[in-house]
Amino acid sequence: MLNRGLPVGLDSGVTLQDRDLESLAPGEVVAESSGQFYRIRQPVADFRSRELDELLGQDPQDFLPHESLHPELDSFARAFPSRALFLDLETCGFSGAPLFLIGLLRHVDGELVVEQLLARDYAEEPAVLDHLWGLLPNYDVLVTFNGKAFDWPFVVDRTTAHRLSRTRDRVVPPTHCDVLPLARRFWKSQLNLPNCKLQTLEAVLCRRYRSGDIPGHLIPDAYHRFVRSGQAQQLGEILQHNALDLVTLAQLALMLVSRSAGQ
């Protein structure tokens, strides 16, 4: 949890001042055959999203599959919550650059949690990837935002670059539900949106506005500085950015199912 004991969440405005990773984001070291990485877990409930709480509190019947649902949403409705895995990456750039953070939102021990797999330096990237591949067989649906174009190909490319087990030998969830094209289809013209970027949808549909969020183009340099110096203040901002992206992704996916059912 970021700054354990402080009300870090969607509307908290907390300044991340701690510079040490362990004090800023308490977690644990996880070992894989390819090395170690740092794992941080935070209950989704800590983010105090009223709108998401309302969706999660709806009658489960509201999310049962029905004939009007897009096939990917149908699969998501069948899998949520225990068999659906939300994923969002933070990387050092585009194709060929390292991946340093795999953000997940998933059901663990009866509750939804944000789970972040962090490579504390470049050498820990293989272990982060290995751990993700180990989790995937437990899920029927992978949920992303623009993940078909970016996140998933990036995972495959970095797995290949590190000569980890062949991707064809890995078990991948049978359905990839990419929320971006579904949101464009359902909301862009209906709401006359300027674009369907995640934070645009977050503002218009979730009615949340981030304060002090680190811009995406600054994330690679911020991570490189952390690796060089060990000072984690900006890394904390990246972790917060990633966690909020995951919470919004989950809310949008649930909204798509709920509102499609109401058509």
Residue 259 has pLDDT above 90, yes or no: no
Read off the pLDDT band of 263 (50, 70, 90): very low
Read off the pLDDT band of 211 (50, 70, 90): confident
Residue 175 has pLDDT above 50, yes or no: yes
Of 157, 107, 111, 163, the C-alpha closest to 135 is 107
pTM over 0.85: yes
pLDDT at 258: 83
Residue 12 has pLDDT above 50, yes or no: no
Over the stretch 114-141, which tens digit does the pLDDT of each residue have?
999 999 999 999 999 999 999 999 999 9
Mean residue pLDDT across the chain? 86
Residue 9 has pLDDT above 50, yes or no: no
The separation between CA 36 and the C-alpha centre of its own chain, rounded to angstroms, equals 21
pLDDT at 196: 94
Q: What H or E segment, with its residue span, contains residue 99?
A: strand 99-108
> What is the CATH superfamily name and number for domain 21-261?
Ribonuclease H-like superfamily/Ribonuclease H (3.30.420.10)
pLDDT at 54: 74
Residue 4 has pLDDT above 80, yes or no: no
pLDDT at 16: 42
pLDDT at 209: 86
Over the stretch 41-97, which tens digit does the pLDDT of each residue have?
999 988 866 767 777 776 555 655 556 788 999 999 899 999 999 999 999 998 889
Helix axes 198-205, 233-261, angle to 10 degrees: 60
More confident call, 207 vs 221: 221
pLDDT at 183: 94
Rg, C-alpha atoms of the chain:
18
Which residue has tokens 């110096």?
Answer: 229
Neighbour-count burial for 73-111, b at 16+ CB within 10 Å, e otherwise: bbbbbbbbbebbbbbbbbbbeeeeebbbbbbbbbbeeee
pLDDT at 6: 31
Rounded to whole angstroms, how far apart are CA atoms 57 and 59? 7
The DSSP output letter for 39 is: E
Provide the token pair at 20. 């040490």
